[in-house]
């Protein structure tokens, strides 16, 4: 019999009925976890209100397959609702071991066309949502002191920026900062915090992509068994949520097709240093093109500066 790596663990999956979250919910249940599927069932832009049927459908699928799951309907960016979500997990399963934040919305606009509502809505859903539910999960774990796992989903937009996604890019970058803060603050309580930047076909990534000639539908409907299949992200999720996953903390992972990658933490690429005095303006203008302004890669050898080798090379 195959090992169930999450046997007996309790997990909250926010956005648990969405394109990525529904796969996480199902795979966690297959691996023995008791899953709280938390979602509103809303549309990709978060404008169409609540649709419990989508959430209930995921829970029903899990139960029919022999797994354990319950549905929680609510906006977890609301502090009271986020607190209720953690309490709901305790009421149903007695504990909480894993928090996966897979929720989110997308409202794409160039920054000069971005409305205040579109900015605030995306930041609220993604970043405030992660903060709110993490706050109440961490209160529990701080008291219990028996460890926990926090896993956020970020995006390449949060790492390198998306030109028509200033709100989304800022929210995803914010998750990385929040993850790193969690990792440092909660490590003493046995809690780890990591993020995954997946490349997969979901309702959200269908936007702006046409249906390929001969395809039966958009990429999210035809990705099964292909490199963009969201199921490809599942093995890393399971490992990070497991007891063994405690070996990783404060890390950014990527999943793309057949590849799982570990991102290098930001390091100083080069620096300009004065021995005695602060820089004056004219001196900085003189030195910039020959030092910090150099764009060549790898960086030319400059006396007194040593470039750190890439961990990915």
Phi-psi region of 266 (alpha: psi -120 to 50; beta: other; left: phi over 0): beta
Residue 301, number of CB atoms within 10 A of its CB: 8
Catalytic choice (93, 152, 168, 189): 168
Decide if 93 is catalytic. no
Residue found by looking up tokens 């607190």 in the block: 83
Contacts of 286 (CB under 8 A, 6+ apart): none
* Strand 252-256 relative to strand 191-199, pairing: parallel
Instruction: Provide the phi-psi class of 66: left if phi over 0, else alpha when psi is between -120 and 50, else beta.
Output: left
Counting other chains too, the contacts that 40-43 makes at CB distance below 8 Å and 24 or more residues apart are: 40/73, 40/74, 40/75, 41/17, 41/73, 42/105
- Sequence-distant contacts of 219-226: CB under 8 A, at least 24 apart: 220/19
Whether residue 14 contacts residue 101, with contact meaning beta carbons closer than 8 Å, is answered with yes
Strands 252-256 and 259-262: antiparallel
**Active-site annotation, residues:** 168
């Amino acid at each position: 019999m195959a090992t169930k790596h999450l046997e007996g663990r309790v997990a909250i999956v926010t956005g648990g009925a969405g394109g990525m979250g529904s796969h996480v919910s199902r795979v966690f249940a297959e691996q023995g976890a008791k899953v709280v599927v938390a979602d509103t069932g809303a549309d990709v832009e978060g404008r169409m209100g609540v649709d419990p049927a989508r959430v209930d459908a995921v829970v029903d699928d899990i139960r029919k397959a022999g797994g354990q799951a319950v549905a929680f309907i609510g906006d977890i960016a609301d502090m009271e609702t986020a607190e209720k979500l953690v309490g709901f997990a305790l009421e149903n399963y007695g504990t909480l071991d894993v928090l996966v934040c897979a929720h989110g919305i997308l409202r794409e606009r160039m920054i000069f066309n971005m409305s205040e509502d579109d900015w605030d809505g995306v930041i609220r859903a993604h970043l405030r949502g992660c903060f709110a539910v993490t706050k109440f999960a961490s209160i529990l774990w701080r008291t219990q002191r028996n460890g926990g796992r926090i896993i956020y989903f970020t995006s390449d937009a949060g790492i390198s920026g998306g030109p028509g996604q200033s709100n989304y890019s800022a929210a995803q970058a914010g998750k990385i900062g929040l993850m790193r803060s969690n990792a440092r603050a909660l490590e003493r309580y046995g809690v780890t915090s990591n993020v995954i930047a997946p490349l997969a076909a979901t309702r959200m990534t269908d936007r702006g992509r046409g249906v390929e000639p001969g395809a039966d539908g958009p990429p999210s409907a035809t990705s099964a068994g292909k490199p963009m299949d969201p199921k490809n992200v599942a093995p890393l999720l399971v490992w990070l949520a497991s007891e063994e996953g405690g070996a990783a903390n404060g890390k950014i992972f990527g999943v793309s097709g057949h590849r799982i990658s570990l991102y290098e933490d930001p390091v100083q690429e080069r620096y300009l240093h004065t021995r005695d005095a602060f820089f004056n303006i004219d001196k900085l203008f003189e030195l910039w093109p020959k030092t910090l302004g150099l764009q060549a890669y790898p960086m030319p050898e400059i006396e007194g500066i040593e470039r750190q080798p890439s961990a990915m090379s």
